Amino acid sequence: MHEVSVVSTLVDAVIRELGKYKVKKVNSVTVVIGEMTNLGQEQMSFAYEIVTRNTILEGSEFIIEPEPIEVECDKCGYVGPVKVISDPDFDTHSIPVLACPECGGPIKVTKGQSCVVRCMDIEEEE
Ligand SMILES: [Zn+2]
């Protein structure tokens, strides 16, 4: 499962960052996950529970903020979201079309590829 390795990388980074503080408790960790990453939110949450076991992050809330895809077209200057094809076999899955919705030209993806920690809600020791 791809999500487990992604989550453990994020968790490692968070734990390293927390080493700078006298942390009593971690309430929540918020991450931004782009829609281009194809990471499943449910799988991410599940992986978080497993990966954080026996760490300072155990029991904290894992908040996922999805980041929609945004593209830029070199040809016509279009900036915005892409067209999405929904797959009738998978209601929950939609496939982004990586071509300009205006002119069909090649595009550059400018948003939707993030996989970063946005913030942490922690309680420090007095
Ligand atoms: Zn275009």
How many CB atoms neighbour CB 66 within 10 A? Answer: 13
HSE-CB for 105 with a 13 A CA cutoff: 13
35-94 tens-digit pLDDT = 889 899 999 999 999 999 999 999 999 999 999 999 999 999 999 999 988 777 766 667
Q: How many Å separate Cα 42 from the centre of its chain?
A: 12
Going from the Cα of 96 to the center of ligand 1, the distance in angstroms, rounded, reads 16
CA of 92 from ligand 1 middle (Å) equals 28
Q: Is the dihedral of CA 79, 42, 115, 30 positive or negative?
A: positive
How far is ligand 1, taken at its centre, from the CA of residue 107, in Å?
Answer: 7
Nearest-CA neighbor of 119 among 29, 25, 23?
29
Q: What's the 32 CA to ligand 1 centre distance in angstroms? A: 27
For the chain, the domain total comes to 1
Question: What's the CA-to-centroid distance between 77 and ligand 1, angstroms?
Answer: 6
**Structure tokens belonging to residue 58:** 């155990």
Q: What is the CATH number of the domain that holds 7?
A: 3.30.2320.80
Q: State the residue range of the domain holding 108.
A: 2-124
Structure tokens at 49: 């529970």
Quick check: 16 pLDDT over 80? yes
Q: What is the rounded average pLDDT of the residues 97-116?
A: 94
Question: Do the beta carbons of residue 84 and residue 40 sit within 8 Å?
Answer: no
Q: CA 1, CA 3: separation in Å to the nearest integer?
A: 6
112 CA distance to ligand 1 centroid (A)?
Answer: 19
